[in-house]
């Protein structure tokens, strides 16, 4: 029998500059980062999780951020080696690193490959310089394309991110940009609609009326166009914002959406670990320096550790699983909280074209995914 997937997420919380739309746990530190010190802290957290999640087979590792391509290859390598020492790191495990496509960071790609990284996810965001400038990015479109070409030379699996529904973006402009992107695509694309996140400079400009993003109708049309173009190019959507050639889906991200266990290492990282038969939700201290100080003083940077109730586990499975094209297994959902979804409600939502059911599998249709949050609220009510 295949072991259940188990992933390890490593959060590197630093960036060269803070992008004005971003509310991830990412920070700029002009004084530099003591990578030796940070590595020692990651290794300490790994030791602790090795006790908590002993005996698991690691099927994926994901270095996310922030900007993990600011990590030295030696730091990445030491973390992968420690994971392989503590757990059975499965042969062929997917090891992804998120990289920003500046030329300096591209210089690290060969080193990451040697360290054991086998999948690169590049934050390209847009394919023209004017849009990149408006997004506050530190790289040009040509730099991003050069980094992509280099990534394809070093890695068998490469993904890149774009942000669409940007200020002033017309359907025609996005059609041209996405067509260009699909021409360069390897096996995977993450295509995110611009979200105005509270507390960011974009949110302030949006509130002041100086940043105008496409309205709901245009955003829906942009989403539909995205699905059609990717499908026609052989990279159909398998999740709300993710597209892949069949078989090249991100195994690590699938693990979150399918409700499997993972350990999150680093500031603000979250974990879900089944321990003594109960699923626990853990989170780490969010502030980078606060986390580092705690790990150095106590051996871990834990902020919270809660046992999830059966109801909470089922709710998470519903919430995450309906993001996927494949949907959720109703039998598994019922086994989690001991009750089935209301059949009449499912039938009514399927009648409205928002859900589709195939035996015990239930999925949101493309129309349903456009109103996913509302749909989940109705199902969970």
Ligand X SMILES: C[S@@+](CC[C@H](N)C(=O)[O-])C[C@H]1O[C@@H](n2cnc3c(N)ncnc32)[C@H](O)[C@@H]1O
- Tell me the number of residues near ligand X by CB under 6 A: 16
Using CB under 6 A, which of the segments 64-72, 209-217, 297-305, 316-324 binds ligand X? 64-72
Q: Within positions 241 to 280, which residues make up the interface with ligand X, using CB under 6 A?
A: none
- 25's CB contacts (< 8 A; 6+ apart) are 11, 13, 66, 267, 268, 286, 288
| Region at 27 (left for phi over 0; alpha for psi -120 to 50; beta for the rest) | beta
DSSP state of 56: P
Name the pairing type of β-strands 119-125 and 88-99: parallel
Kindly state whether residue 192 participates in binding ligand SF4, applying the rule CB under 6 A: no
Verify cis geometry, omega within 30 degrees of 0, for the bond prior to 351.
no
Q: Which does 18 bind (CB under 5 to 8 A by kind): ligand X, ligand SF4, none?
A: ligand SF4
Q: Within positions 235 to 274, which residues make up the interface with ligand SF4, using CB under 6 A?
A: none
- Torsion sign across C-alpha atoms 121, 126, 129, 132: negative
What is the contact mask toward ligand SF4 in residues 4 to 43, using x (rule: CB under 6 A)? -----------x--xx--x-x-x-----------------
Nearer to ligand SF4, 231 or 289 (CB): 289
Determine whether 72 is exposed, middle or buried from the number of CB atoms within 10 Å of its CB (0-12, 13-18, 19+): middle
Least distance from ligand X to the Cβ atom of residue 19, Å: 6
Kindly state whether residue 115 participates in binding ligand X, applying the rule CB under 6 A: no
Least distance from ligand X to the Cβ atom of residue 192, Å: 4
For residue 202, CA distances in Å to 131, 205, 206, 261 come to 14, 5, 6, 34
User: Cβ distance 65 to 19 under 8 Å?
Assistant: no
Instruction: Please report, to the nearest 10 degrees, the dihedral formed by the alpha carbons of residues 144, 198, 265, 110 taken in order.
Output: 0
What is the contact mask toward ligand SF4 in residues 54 to 93, using x (rule: CB under 6 A)? -----------xxx--------------------------
Q: Which does 161 bind (CB under 5 to 8 A by kind): ligand SF4, ligand X, none?
A: ligand X
Structure tokens at 64: 């996310």
Using CB under 6 A, which of the segments 42-50, 189-197, 227-235, 321-329 binds ligand X? 189-197
Kindly state whether residue 161 participates in binding ligand X, applying the rule CB under 6 A: yes
Q: Which does 275 bind (CB under 5 to 8 A by kind): ligand X, ligand SF4, none?
A: none
Least distance from ligand X to the Cβ atom of residue 99, Å: 7
Nearer to ligand X, 240 or 341 (CB): 240
**Which residue bears the tokens 């994926």?**
60
Using CB under 6 A, which of the segments 46-54, 59-67, 79-87, 332-340 binds ligand X? 59-67
Neighbours of 278 (CB within 10 A): 12
Nearer to ligand SF4, 99 or 284 (CB): 99
User: Cβ distance 284 to 291 under 8 Å?
Assistant: yes
Structure tokens at 242: 């993710």
d(CA 271, CA 33): 25
Structure tokens at 343: 């059949």
Binding site for ligand SF4 (CB under 6 A): 15, 18-19, 22, 24, 26, 65-67, 100, 123
Binding site for ligand X (CB under 6 A): 21-22, 24, 64-65, 67, 98, 100, 123, 125, 161, 163, 192, 194-195, 197
């Amino acid at each position: 029998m295949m072991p259940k997937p188990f992933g390890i997420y490593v959060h590197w919380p630093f960036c060269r500059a803070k992008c004005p739309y971003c509310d991830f746990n990412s920070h700029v530190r002009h004084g530099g980062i003591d990578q030796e010190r940070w590595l020692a802290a990651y290794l300490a957290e790994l030791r602790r999780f090795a006790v908590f999640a002993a005996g698991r087979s690691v099927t994926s590792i994901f270095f996310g951020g922030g900007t993990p391509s600011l990590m030295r290859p030696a730091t990445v390598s030491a973390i992968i080696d420690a994971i392989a020492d503590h757990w059975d790191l499965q042969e062929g495990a997917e090891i992804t690193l998120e990289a920003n496509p500046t030329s300096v960071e591209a210089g690290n790609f060969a080193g990451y490959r040697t360290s054991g990284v086998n999948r690169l996810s590049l934050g390209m965001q847009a394919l023209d310089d004017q849009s990149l400038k408006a997004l506050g990015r530190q790289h040009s479109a040509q730099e991003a394309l050069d980094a992509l070409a280099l990534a394809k030379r070093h890695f068998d699996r490469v993904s890149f991110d774009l942000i669409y529904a940007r200020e002033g973006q017309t359907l025609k402009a996005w059609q041209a940009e996405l067509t260009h992107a699909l021409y360069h695509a390897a096996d995977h694309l993450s295509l995110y609609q611009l979200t105005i996140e509270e507390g960011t400079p974009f949110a302030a400009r949006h509130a002041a009326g100086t940043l105008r993003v496409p309205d709901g109708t245009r955003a829906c049309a942009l989403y539909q166009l995205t699905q059609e173009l990717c499908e026609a190019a052989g990279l159909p959507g398998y999740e709300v914002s993710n597209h892949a050639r069949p078989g090249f889906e991100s195994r690590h991200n699938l693990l979150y959406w399918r409700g499997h266990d993972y350990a999150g290492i680093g500031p603000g990282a979250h974990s879900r670990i089944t321990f003594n038969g109960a699923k626990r939700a853990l989170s780490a201290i969010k502030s980078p320096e606060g986390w580092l100080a705690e790990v150095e003083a106590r051996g871990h940077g834990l902020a919270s550790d809660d046992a999830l109730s059966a109801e909470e586990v089922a709710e998470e499975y519903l919430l995450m699983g309906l993001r996927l094209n494949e949907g959720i297994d109703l039998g598994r959902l019922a086994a989690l909280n001991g009750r089935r979804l209301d059949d009449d409600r499912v039938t009514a939502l399927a009648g409205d074209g928002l859900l589709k059911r195939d035996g015990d599998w239930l999925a949101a249709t493309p129309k349903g995914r456009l109103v996913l949050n509302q749909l989940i609220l109705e199902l969970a009510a």
